[in-house]
Amino acid sequence: MNAPAPTDPQVKKRQRGLSRVWDQLSLYLPVLLMMPLALASYLLLQATPQPMEPEPERLLTNEPDFFMRRFSVKVFAPNGTLQTEVYGAEARHHPDTDRTVIDTARIRTYSAQRQLSTATAREIISNGEGTVYELRGDAVVVRQAARNAAGQRLPRMEFHGEFLRVSTDPEHIESDLPVLLIRDKDQMTADTLDYRGDSRVVELNGRVRAQLAPR
């Protein structure tokens, strides 16, 4: 026995129900489609390494950042000739001042005319550029006799004191403590010293005494 065919009102009612269901699906379908994409993006973000935070800038301290013990350093000119030799029992570099302290130090330098100069002291302090040296304790600077580019003789000179400050460019030696100056065989003592190598002029102040060799 066959089932009765649906009447027109029943068909229309069913069609309206299907239409409402489709309307509801059409509203939520974009959201349903976006959910897997959002989930995938979230998982990818979690798997991505986080950028490292920049480290705070390190403050420079007076603590030495490197040491050298019982060392010898040589510096050569582009043509291969020796310019400077530095010896020391120990060297320490202080980053806050960019200064190097050398214990029981000896520095030998050669000018363009191959004139040898030697500096020794219980402690030598150099600036970062290597152009200024402070000699402390039994400080001695010796400049050997030589001839300049014009052929003139440059006398042997010695500077002695507890403190000497030496600049290399231009050559300048000074001290605010008592010093002994020896020029060839002449000797002079003073409370302060100011010597300029470019003009070869020395200024002595305070209690100045001189002992001149016979000519």
| Pairwise CA distance, residues 158 & 140, whole Å | 7
Q: Helix/strand/coil (H, E, C) string of 145-200? A: CEECCCCCEECCEEEEEEEEEEEECCEEEEECCCEEEEECCEEEEECEEEEECCCC
**Residue 22 CB partners (closer than 8 Å, separation 6+):** none
**Residue 95 CB partners (closer than 8 Å, separation 6+):** 60, 61, 63, 65
Q: How confident is the model at residue 37 (pLDDT cuts 50, 70, 90)?
A: low
In this model, does residue 38 exceed pLDDT 70? no
Identify the pLDDT of residue 194.
96
In this model, does residue 53 exceed pLDDT 70? no
How do residues 110-152 score in pLDDT, each as one tens digit? 877 777 889 999 999 998 888 899 999 999 999 998 887 778 8
